[in-house]
Amino acid sequence: MKVVVGLGNPGIRYAGTRHNVGFAVVDEIARNQEVTGWRRRFRAKTAEIPCMLLVKPTTYMNLSGDCVHEISRGLGIPASGFVIVLDDLDLEPGRIRIRQGGGSGGHKGMRSIIERMGTDQIARIRVGVGRPPEGMEPAEYVLKRPGLCEKELLTKAIKLAASAAMFVAAEGVVSAMNRYNGLFAD
């Protein structure tokens, strides 16, 4: 079983923001798989589909590692069983990138997961949200909702990332990297 964890912040205030694209990807998978209900457990909203557990942490972004660690311990799933979906400032909107592991890239949610799990060898799907305009702090930028043109690109990237997450679960991270890295959602 793969555990697909979409990173984001709970609550209506954060819905639709760039920082919540991880939640949006998990929601897209759930929609495609006709998930009818979510459960609250492991400090998250979870839903099960064949061979996959979908997770939206309710711990807020900077404490995402607490949720992932609880799932790992509670279900006996090693770090290699997780796929983390997160926003990325260094990728332009419309791009996704799959990685087998590595550092947090400055993303506090990913940093929390790496620290709590004790390894950086955790698969992730990064969804590009682009850089903030000059003079705007990155934290302010990711907590804003995108404009219309950018929203169209992000919607397409979310669909692409959902497809990639399903592919990772079925075929593995390396195969997914070969198939999806370099694609642009258009």
| Three-class SS state of 180 | helix
Q: Give the helix/strand (H/E) hosting 174.
A: helix 173-180
Q: Is 19 annotated as catalytic?
A: yes
- 139 DSSP assignment: H
Between strands 96-99 and 123-128, the pairing is antiparallel
Q: Which residues contact 7 (CB under 8 A, 6 or more apart)?
A: 19, 22, 23, 57, 61, 64, 84, 85, 86, 87, 107, 109, 110
2, 18, 19, 95: which is the annotated catalytic residue? 19
Q: Which residues are catalytic?
A: 19
